[in-house]
């Protein structure tokens, strides 16, 4: 029991540790967030819809330049699945289709299409979840993967390359590390997740900053006849370093944000339906002297088939 307490403390500590700096918005936002995974011991395939909004404002403090603003919305539908290869090893795949919209004083553009495909492998280090004799149950998975440059990264408006964050893909092959830990005592549980994304340079010698995210959320398991309900709430943190174009650090890139999360997972036989809402509590982006950037609310809806 003592070693389990040590593991819990280490994971919670990692989940609450700040990294150096989130891409302000767009295709490289956050990395792959699992959330509370449906029925950890089964394969599944499903769809997730998500949306994130940002507001940018520029005040030049000049009588010759007007104030500028931009309302940016990043929507995504994602085909995802989990498949066990042996008892302890699982493979996950994420195939996103994005729709980005920028509504600003200087630029109004939209872009949609295939995003960057991600492949991950997770190894089960600890699993007592299938032991019906135990009130206290744990599962702990660690993994890694690769994000492929399948999304468009050269979208232009009137012959000029649109903001890198607005692109559907990064144009780079990137690498991911992840850890997901769940503990449950009777009907009450806690889920801790961390992820780190190591980015590489694309063919234009542009480097998106490395990214980190962590979440911790409590949940309550309740059966209502043949339906299982899992309400949950907690905190989500994300951060990213500044971008580099060649060796030049880019303004208005990178930063961090802490968001409050609340959601509900519903299980009916082989079908799982989940909804999650995130509201920003604090944020600090690396904006320059004339710009301010604000993260708005986010949401995610998922439907999966377990087999």
* Tens digits of pLDDT across the chain (307 residues): 444 443 334 333 333 333 332 233 333 444 566 667 655 678 999 999 999 999 988 787 776 677 888 899 999 999 999 999 988 999 999 999 999 999 988 889 999 999 999 999 999 998 886 666 678 888 899 999 999 999 999 999 988 899 888 899 999 999 999 999 999 898 899 999 999 999 999 999 999 999 999 999 999 988 888 899 999 999 999 999 999 999 999 888 889 999 999 999 999 989 999 999 999 999 988 877 777 888 899 999 999 999 9
Q: Count CB neighbours of 203 within 10 A.
A: 10
| Residues 6+ away with beta carbon under 8 Å from 288 | 251, 252
Helix (H, G, I), strand (E, B) or coil at 208: coil
pLDDT computed for residue 129 by the predictor: 66
pLDDT computed for residue 1 by the predictor: 46
Distance CA 246, CA 258 (A): 30
* The listed CATH number (2.40.160.40, 3.40.50.720, 1.20.120.80, 3.90.550.10) that belongs to domain 2-306: 2.40.160.40
Distance CA 169, CA 202 (A): 10
pLDDT computed for residue 253 by the predictor: 87
pLDDT computed for residue 29 by the predictor: 46
Distance CA 265, CA 38 (A): 8
Predicted structure pTM score: 0.84
The residue among 47, 16, 2, 49 whose CA lies nearest residue 272 is: 47
Interval 154-165: pLDDT, tens? 999 988 899 888
pLDDT computed for residue 8 by the predictor: 38
pLDDT computed for residue 130 by the predictor: 60
């Amino acid at each position: 029991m003592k070693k389990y307490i040590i593991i819990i403390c280490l994971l919670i500590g990692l989940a609450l540790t700040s990294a150096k700096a989130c891409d302000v918005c767009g295709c490289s936002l956050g990395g792959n967030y699992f959330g509370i995974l449906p029925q950890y011991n089964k394969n599944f395939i499903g769809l997730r819809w998500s949306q994130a909004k940002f507001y940018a404002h520029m005040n030049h403090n000049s009588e010759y330049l007007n104030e500028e603003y931009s309302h940016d919305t990043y929507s995504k539908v994602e085909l995802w699945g989990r498949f066990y290869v042996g008892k302890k090893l699982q493979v996950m795949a994420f195939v996103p289709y994005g729709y980005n919209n920028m509504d600003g004083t200087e630029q109004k553009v939209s872009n949609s299409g295939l995003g960057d495909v991600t492949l991950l492998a997770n190894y089960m280090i600890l699993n007592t979840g299938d032991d019906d004799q135990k009130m206290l149950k744990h599962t702990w998975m660690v993994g890694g993967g690769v994000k492929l440059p399948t999304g468009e990264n050269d979208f232009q408006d009137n012959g000029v390359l649109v903001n890198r964050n607005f692109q559907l893909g990064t144009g780079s092959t990137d690498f991911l590390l992840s850890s997901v830990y769940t503990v449950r005592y009777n009907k009450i549980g806690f889920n801790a997740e961390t992820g780190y994304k190591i980015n590489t340079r694309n063919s234009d010698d542009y480097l998106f900053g490395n990214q980190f995210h962590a979440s911790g959320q409590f949940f309550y398991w309740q059966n209502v006849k043949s339906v299982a309900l899992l309400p949950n709430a907690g905190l989500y943190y994300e951060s990213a370093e500044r971008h580099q174009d060649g060796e030049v650090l880019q303004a208005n890139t990178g930063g961090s944000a802490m968001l409050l999360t609340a959601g509900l997972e519903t299980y009916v036989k082989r079908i799982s339906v989940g909804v999650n809402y995130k509201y920003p509590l604090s944020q600090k982006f690396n904006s320059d002297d004339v710009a301010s950037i604000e993260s708005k609310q986010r949401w995610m809806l998922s439907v999966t088939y377990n087999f």
